[in-house]
């Protein structure tokens, strides 16, 4: 049976405890190798959420027992089904020492750089040439493309439940500035740039000053940042009498331009570091 068929058998109560443990081991291997993904790109820029993969990851928690993973002086207690990711030198991932952790069940491609301390959670996919900088998070099931720079203290939110919810998706060649937060299924299209401190979630309207439009999430389509957009943290005034009396405003991301040669020069990755 395929992994998807075996997951269905678990839901139907048709697998023994031993068969479930075998399924979890095979699932994690497939996730680690990038053979299956919680979300995957299709033609014409669309993406498909694979609910069965996310639901299968939940089985790792449900059918795991707490054990002691402590190594040296660092206490570590977790489910026996979700240890650290099994890297070797041949994996080609550069993990700088200093407190980083990468959970098993996520794909981390060759050429990825992990600066301490950082964390990559289960179900995520991090493609070639990406840097995850210090104090950065790649959350559960997040999908990160090639040559993405996730700057220091940036947070890429995760999602397992509800299973049909789209995870955060960051496409190729995106620059995410320091202290940014991207949550709740937001999609960042290719070559976009997020300036420091930009926060994007399902409730965030984004004002495109170039095209004079407002980008929002809908029930059917989470927020998308267009290809090559340059987004900075801005503010807009509030219209209530109380807000006007007190000069209040609210943080609002602004698209101030689309990438040009000047932007490319500022955001160019230093490949000698890779």
What is the model's pLDDT at position 113? 96
Give residue 180's Cα distance to chain centre.
13
Which domains does the chain possess? Answer: 3-68+77-261 (2.160.10.10)
Cite the beta strand spans of 86-226 per DSSP E: 94-95, 101-102, 107-108, 113-114, 119-120, 125-126, 131-132, 137-138, 143-144, 149-150, 155-156, 169-170, 175-176, 181-182, 187-188, 193-194, 199-200, 206-208, 213-215, 224-225
Helix (H) or strand (E) holding 61: helix 51-62
What is the model's pLDDT at position 171? 98
What pTM, to 2 d.p., does this model score?
A: 0.93
Say which residue the tokens 């402590």 belong to. 70
What is the model's pLDDT at position 271? 60
Per-residue pLDDT of the chain (274 residues; tens, 9 = 90+): 999 999 999 999 999 999 999 999 999 999 999 999 999 999 989 999 999 999 999 999 999 999 999 887 778 899 999 999 999 999 999 999 988 999 999 999 999 999 999 999 999 999 999 999 999 999 999 999 999 999 999 999 999 888 778 999 999 999 999 999 999 999 999 999 999 999 999 999 999 999 999 999 998 889 999 999 999 999 999 999 999 999 999 999 999 999 988 777 777 766 656 5
What is the model's pLDDT at position 188? 98
Cβ atoms 195, 255 nearer than 8 A: no
What is the model's pLDDT at position 76? 87
d(CA 58, CA 27): 11
């Amino acid at each position: 049976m395929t992994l998807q068929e075996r997951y269905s058998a678990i839901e139907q109560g048709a697998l023994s405890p031993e068969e479930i443990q075998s399924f979890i081991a095979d699932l994690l291997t497939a996730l680690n190798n990038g053979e299956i993904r919680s979300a995957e790109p299709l033609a014409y820029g669309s993406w498909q959420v694979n609910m069965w993969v996310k639901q299968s990851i939940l089985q790792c928690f449900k059918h795991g027992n707490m054990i002691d993973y402590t190594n040296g002086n660092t206490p570590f207690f977790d489910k026996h089904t979700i240890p650290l990711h099994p890297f070797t030198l041949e994996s080609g991932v550069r993990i700088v020492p200093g407190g980083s952790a990468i959970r098993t069940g996520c794909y981390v491609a060759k050429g990825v750089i992990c600066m301490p301390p950082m964390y990559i959670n289960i179900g995520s996919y991090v493609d070639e040439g990406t840097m995850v900088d210090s104090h950065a998070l790649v959350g559960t099931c997040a999908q990160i493309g090639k040559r993405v720079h996730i700057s220091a203290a940036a947070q890429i939110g995760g999602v397992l439940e509800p299973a049909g919810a789209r995870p955060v998706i960051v496409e190729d060649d995106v620059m995410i500035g320091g202290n940014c937060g991207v949550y709740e299924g937001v999609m960042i299209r290719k070559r976009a740039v997020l300036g420091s401190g930009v926060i994007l979630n399902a409730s965030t309207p984004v004002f495109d000053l170039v095209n004079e439009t407002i980008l929002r999430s809908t029930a059917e389509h989470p927020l998308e940042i267009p290809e090559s957009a340059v987004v900075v943290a801005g503010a807009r005034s509030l219209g209530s009498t109380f807000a006007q009396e007190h000069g209040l405003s609210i943080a609002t991301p602004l698209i101030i331009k689309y990438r040009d040669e000047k932007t490319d020069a500022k955001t160019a990755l230093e490949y000698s570091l890779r």
